Copies of this chain bind each other. A is one copy, B any other.
Amino acid sequence: MKITAAEIFQSVEDIRAKSPLVHNITNYVVMNNTANALLAVGASPVMIHAEEEVEDMAAIASALVINIGTMSAPWVRAMFKAFGRAVSAGVPVVIDPVGAGATPYRTQTVRELVGAGRPTIIRGNASEILALAGDRRTTRGVDSTAASDEALSAAQYLSEKHQCAVSISGAVDYTVEGRRVVKTANGHPMMTRVTGLGCTATALCGAFAAVDKDGLAAAAKAMAVMGIAGEMAAEKAAGPGSLQMHFLDALYGLSREDVAGRLKIEVA
């Protein structure tokens, strides 16, 4: 297996051409910037969470993204409903276990959610992936307290258990499915000072999953594009405020050369 710059850029072009409808049930903090990131990359985001309509929307979407960030009981019910319907309609589903491990309610809920259907991709930081897999180290909030490679076996365990791709983001991202492992190493440390860039990566996984049936490849491509746009933005940024702005501009203008010249990927 190999994921080339050309293949990654082909997916970007597919997203731009098809403008896939990405249905997000996500947290309040990041709704605006994940919608903007999806628009910038070429997708068509929709944010809908009412129990009365999530199934109808999930069924006609090209991908469903579920992010538990600011969850509460009514939202959780909607997540289960949308997930079930998406799976039965053949729509790829990406789940972000934001803050798993931070509270028992959160950890328990997302474990049940992930087990309730068959996700295509699970994406989180190391702490979240560890918590989801049952590791007892506690998550401190929503920022990771572990390095991404520490969660590698947890990710492999989750991948086997749920038959899906699992991506751990960090300075180096690991995306695994079964025995396959893809390392991507683009990005910039300042990205951790912008809220919701992890959630943005999850949303991009949805856009790539809409145009690439291989969950592992879709997730790895999203992580690569995320990192490349992030490092392009960081080069122009005077701080996290301008990084967020340049990031959206970079995603929007991303060229074949940007991907080819910057890509750091390793497939094991």
Report yes or no: B48 in contact with A103, Cβ–Cβ below 8 A: yes
Nearest chain B residue, comparing its CB with the CB of A237: B249
- CB pair A240–B103 under 8 Å, yes or no, is no
A36 within 8 A of B: yes
Q: Is A183 an interface residue (CB 8 A)?
A: no
A87 adjacent to chain B (CB < 8 Å): no
User: Is the CB of A6 closer than 8 A to any CB of chain B?
Assistant: no
B238 touches A242 (CB 8 A): no
Most buried by B among A36, A49, A196: A36
Tell me the complex Cα distance, A238–B70, Å. Answer: 32
B40 touches A35 (CB 8 A): no
Q: In the assembly, what is the distance between CA of A241 and CA of B57, in Å?
A: 27
**Interface magnitude class on chain A:** 35 or more
Q: A193 contacts the other chain (Cβ, under 8 Å)?
A: yes
Cβ of A46: which chain B residues have Cβ within 8 Å of it? 99, 102, 141-142
Nearest neighbor of A38 in chain B, beta-carbon distance: B195
Decide: A195 and B45 in contact? CB cutoff 8 A.
yes
Interface centre among A74, A196, A239 (most CB of B within 10 A): A239
Contact B32 A47 (CB under 8 A): no
- Kindly supply a per-residue 1/0 record for chain A positions 42-75, scoring 1 wherever the CB is within 8 Å of any chain B CB and 0 otherwise: 0011111111110011001100000001111110
| Contact assessment for B102 and A240 in the assembled complex, using a CB-CB cutoff below 8 Å | no
A interface residues, Cβ below 8 angstroms from B: 19, 21, 23, 27-33, 35-36, 39-40, 44-53, 56-57, 60-61, 69-74, 99, 102-106, 140-143, 192-196, 237-242, 244-253
Give the top 3 A-B pairs by smallest Cβ distance, nearest first.
A239-B249, A241-B248, A35-B195
